[in-house]
Structure 1
Amino acid sequence: MTAGVTPMQNAIQALRSDAQASPDQAASDLATGRAVLRAEAAALSDMAEELNGAFISALDILMGVTAVGDRAGRIIVSGMGKSGHIGRKIAATFASTGTPAQFVHPGEASHGDLGMITERDAVIAISNSGETHELSDLIGHVKRFQIPMIGITGRAGSTLAEAANVALILPQHPEAGEIGLAPTTSTTMTLAMGDALAVSLMARKGFTANDFRVLHPGGKLGRQLLKVADLMHRGENIPLVQQQARMDEVVLTITSKHFGCTGVVDDAGGLIGIVTDGDLRRHMSNNLAEQLVTKVMTAGPIMITSTMIAAEALNIMNDRKITAMFVVDEAQKPVGIVHIHDFLRAGVA
């Protein structure tokens, strides 16, 4: 036994060695993985080609139910087993792209949760076979109250397909793998169909990146979609001097505002230049304080707008190797300033 290595560590290392695939096994594993991916990719390709008017009809239903107004409803997604797992993700995708949606378990629906489904809503029911008996009570409920239902199924003549107002029929493709029994290809197609519906509905509604940011305030997505307006300093915090100012006033402004620079504005309030700490060093002389700012400033500074995505503004700063930028309006009048530290504090990268 190696000095300092416990029997338990030796045992763990032996198990790890035994678990490592031989070259032949590794080649077989790669072949299996590639076959699965190719099988599912082929199914998705066929599904894209077969998409037809039923898809448009489904979107019409979803758009009509969730349109803005006092009677706007939700999308209710339901499915059993693996279809249920996929259904939860589809509901989450709708919700995160601006369409109120929730998942209702068909088993729980039969024991009171049918009350979650109102006449304002639309239902997306999922069953690859189209004969999932746990969906029967839910189907009966939506038929009784004339709630529109979209069925996603692999069988055109199934109970679900016949009961649905619109049936989205998945192409006939075998499940991936030698056994061909575990839901793989079928669940991938179902998930992709849900994505197609959600993204198409989002496009119809004109859902924007800013709308997306409102629904994703946390995490990396929220940080990536922050705008300059969310980070910039405004009002009295903006370091500015008039074009007639002397450099002694400029130095005081740079020192008091703590941005390492000041903007220079003309009589109309438009930004015409910038003076940075670097400009001060480059123009250092005995009479610097008496010079006019226009003799020292860098004309035509880089300007950005408040509606610019913060990550885009940060890229400009990194490319130009600058630490602060002025934010201007349509008339190039300063409305704010951002420092690279503002982006770092907000987690923009």
Structure 2
Amino acid sequence: MTTMRFRGRSYRNGCVPSSVLDELQPSGRHGTDGRSRAFLRKDAAASWNRAIDDVRAGTGLQLTVRGWNRSLAEQQGFFLQRYRRGARSPFGDYRRYDGSTWGRVGGAAAAVPGYSNHGWALAVDVQDFGGVGEWGNARRAKAFPILREHGWTDVEGRRVNEPWHLVYCPGDDHGARRGRGRAAGRSGARAALRRPLRRATTLRPHRPPTLRRGTRRPAGVRLWASVLAAEGLYAGELGGRFGEDLDAATRAFQERSHLLVDGIVGPKTWYTSVLGVEPGSRGAAVRVAQVVAGLRGAAVDGVAGSVFAARWKRVQRWLGVAADAHLGPRTVAALVRKG
């Protein structure tokens, strides 16, 4: 067990002082019974409350949690329910605790008491984010890219195969900065309506080609296939023809993203695929975002660097949203409206 310091207070895991805790919203609607109050460390609570506002605005989902700050006694209770001293674990999950080896005999994995991120008041277990290993859960697929913008990570959850378990990482929290930018930008936006923008300050987004079963547009089909492969929905050839397997994977993506399930890759499907891309991101979704921003050839490299950021700030100015190069729900919604 180690010690952490926050806002002048030092404390041990499972012993977070109430003075550094704040409540999660909506108040009194958390827990498996839907009637509990939930608390996290102040910075994590502020981030979570911002994030669920963005999730609600962008997807219509209202998120609640069934796990939050845990005292040392609560951690011990969870651990002793699931682990037995000297037991053989059918899950191959063994922990060292109290001078002995303990094997998990039932339930989900639990941290050794005194070492849980719940004990630092920096972790949540989200309601209805799927069961063990269900990483394709539809609610999670819609909400997690937005939560990630606010510093919520799933690295620990993936390590124990728990899609519902998220940990707050302050260094990855871009939400507060963008929130201040939006507030400051509202008066600026009104002023901007009264003066013409110079041509160089904005950039109209490029609309990717519409694809459907039977389409033969090699570059577009390969790009879309790579997106679905990265999402874990497609394991076929990244060829130039839109075949049956790619159609099925497209429909799975649309269903997971709560889009019209028609197998047609039109603007809404393309634009939804870039949700959560930001400077520093890598991969197929970045390549889509680069194409939408008008980049071509070797510039479409799947790395969101300085050119990506500059281009997208110009696109966002044209869309009328905060120019921060973070492709959150408001940017995607504006792209969809513009078609």
Q: TM-score, normalised by structure 1?
A: 0.21
The structure having more radius of gyration, on CA atoms, is 1
